[in-house]
Every structure is written in structure tokens, then in C-alpha cells.
């Protein structure tokens, strides 16, 4: 259902339901949420790489789950939708960087997962859609994660038309970061991971937390937060080691040694 394997400082998480194009139901959402919440307690974890098994990243909600939900009361539907909120929030709030590799189909709630990640690489064969309106429903939950990333103008188009679009359009609107050939997907993800491993582990976590705090604030309220963050991090052991390593022209202590 969901595979999680630690690889040094990297956690590799795989949606593992290729027979249904990695569509999610209540059990999958609970499993993903649990994996990310448990991993968030691992202070030495440097990054998470999230992928989908098989030919597709995630086709969105499982049809069988949606069919069951169609008979729910409004109160039960709201409770059920919170599972999707919890999953996306566990990814979005994860303290270390989360990278995703997207191939094949990525529809509906799958794009909520994508929007919650920090760095997203898509294969040239990726096909995406906020497909909910075609099913007579709305991309309500995912909008909380998608709109901050692509803005209201793009949400108006892609939510309303429910059109299928490719990775280059997804990059243009800010939903993903890079487009590569499918065969190069893993290599590009590793390229990003290698850059993250060169950065101070605490600094990376601090800057992710800082972005989340200051993004919704006006300038006057951003400045005290950024000043406090800079002063604290600069005076930390990691900050001192980074500056010393730079002056001594050597790799910092946290940089993995080459084999």
C-alpha cells in the first residue's frame, strides 16, 4: 500500500497500488499520514523522496472509495475529507524537504499531494488534471494547498475547465519545478537531494519553517521573524561550523563524504 525505506539520511516513500494507478482511499491516506508523522520525529532525517509505483504517480481518489462516500451524510463526508487534509498537511508541514517524482497520471487529490511538496520533478509523459468538476464534485480540500502555489488566476482556469495538461504547463504555473525524460526522473531527484545534503541540516529545517511563517504576513510582521531567525541560526553550532568551513575552504562537517 505504502512503502517507506530509510536510505541513510533520506526516506524514500512509495505509493504502492499500481493496480489502481496508486489511487488513494481512507486506508492509503491514513498510511501516508502515519509515515510522515512518524518520520517527522526523526531529527537526523535530511529529506523525503516521494514516488508512485508503476506507470502512474497517483490517479487521485479510488473510485470504490468515492462510490462509498456518495452515500455518506454531509457530516460523514466532512469527516472523511479530513483524511485528505491530514495527509496533505502531514506532507506540507514536514520539517525536512519533501521531493516528489511524478510520472504518468496525476489527477485530483494527487495534485494536492504534489502541491504540498517542496520540490517536484515531473516526467515528460506526466498528465495532470484537477478533474473533480468533471465528476460533479469540486477540488475543495486540495485548493488549500494548490492555490497558494499557483495563484487564483490559474486556479480559476484549471479548476473550472478540469482540462488535462502536461508537465510544461504545470511548470509554467508553478505547480512543479522541473521536467525531464522519464528515464531521468530518479537521477534528477538525486541531483536535488545531493544539493540538500550539502546544506546545513538545521538551516534547511529553519528556512522551511521560516517560509511557512512569513509567507502570509505583511512586510512589517515578516521583518522581526526573519531577524530573530538569522540571529539565532548564525549563533548556532551549525552556523559557526558552516562559516569556519567556508573560511578554511573545506566541506562542512555535515556534507557526506564521497565514497
- Residue-wise pLDDT tens digits, 183-239: 999 999 999 999 999 999 999 999 999 999 999 999 999 999 999 999 999 999 999
> For residues 189 and 49, is the Cβ–Cβ distance under 8 A?
yes
Q: Spell out the alpha helix ranges (H) of the chain.
A: 26-39, 63-69, 74-92, 109-116, 140-161, 167-172, 185-198, 201-214, 219-234, 237-247
pLDDT for 197 equals 97
Query: How far apart are alpha carbons 95 and 171 in whole angstroms?
Result: 24
> For residues 84 and 47, is the Cβ–Cβ distance under 8 A?
no
pLDDT for 259 equals 65
- Name the grid cell of 192: 536535488
pTM (2 d.p.):
0.95
Query: How far apart are alpha carbons 252 and 18 in whole angstroms?
Result: 41
Query: How far apart are alpha carbons 164 and 172 in whole angstroms?
Result: 15
What CA dihedral angle connects 95, 101, 107 and 108, to 10 degrees?
0
> For residues 101 and 114, is the Cβ–Cβ distance under 8 A?
no
Per-residue pLDDT tens listing for the chain (259 residues):
999 999 999 999 999 999 999 999 999 999 999 999 999 999 999 999 999 999 999 999 898 877 777 777 888 888 888 999 999 999 999 999 999 999 999 999 999 999 999 999 999 999 999 999 998 889 999 999 999 999 999 999 999 999 999 999 999 999 999 999 999 999 999 999 999 999 999 999 999 999 999 999 999 999 999 999 999 999 999 999 999 999 999 999 999 987 6
- What is the dihedral sign for C-alpha 176, 51, 66, 73? negative
> For residues 105 and 122, is the Cβ–Cβ distance under 8 A?
no
Amino acid at each position: 500500500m505504502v512503502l517507506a525505506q530509510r536510505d541513510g539520511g533520506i526516506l524514500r516513500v512509495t505509493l504502492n497500488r499500481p493496480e489502481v494507478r496508486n489511487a488513494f482511499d481512507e486506508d492509503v491516506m491514513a498510511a501516508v499520514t502515519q509515515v510522515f508523522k512518524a518520520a517527522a520525529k526523526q531529527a537526523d532525517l535530511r529529506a523525503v523522496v516521494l514516488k508512485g509505483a508503476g506507470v502512474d504517480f497517483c490517479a487521485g481518489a479510488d473510485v470504490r472509495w468515492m462510490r462509498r462516500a456518495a452515500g455518506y451524510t454531509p457530516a460523514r463526508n466532512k469527516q472523511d475529507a479530513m483524511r485528505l487534509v491530514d495527509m496533505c498537511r502531514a506532507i506540507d508541514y514536514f520539517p525536512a524537504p519533501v521531493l516528489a517524482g511524478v510520472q504518468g497520471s496525476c489527477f485530483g487529490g494527487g495534485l494536492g499531494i504534489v502541491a504540498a511538496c517542496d520540490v517536484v520533478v515531473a516526467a515528460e509523459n506526466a498528465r495532470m488534471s484537477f478533474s473533480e468538476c468533471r465528476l460533479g464534485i469540486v477540488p475543495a480540500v486540495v485548493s488549500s494547498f494548490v492555490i497558494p502555489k499557483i495563484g487564483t488566476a490559474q486556479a480559476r482556469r484549471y479548476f473550472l475547465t478540469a482540462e488535462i495538461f502536461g508537465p510544461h504547463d504545470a511548470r509554467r504555473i508553478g505547480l512543479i519545478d522541473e521536467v525531464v525524460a522519464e528515464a531521468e526522473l530518479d537521477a534528477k531527484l538525486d541531483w536535488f537531494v545531493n544539493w540538500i545534503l550539502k546544506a546545513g541540516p538545521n538551516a534547511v529545517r529553519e528556512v522551511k519553517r521560516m517560509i511557512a511563517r512569513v509567507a502570509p504576513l505583511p512586510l512589517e510582521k515578516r521583518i522581526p521573524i526573519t531577524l530573530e531567525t538569522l540571529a539565532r541560526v548564525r549563533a548556532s553550532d551549525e552556523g559557526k561550523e558552516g562559516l569556519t568551513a567556508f573560511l578554511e575552504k573545506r566541506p562542512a562537517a555535515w556534507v557526506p563524504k564521497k565514497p
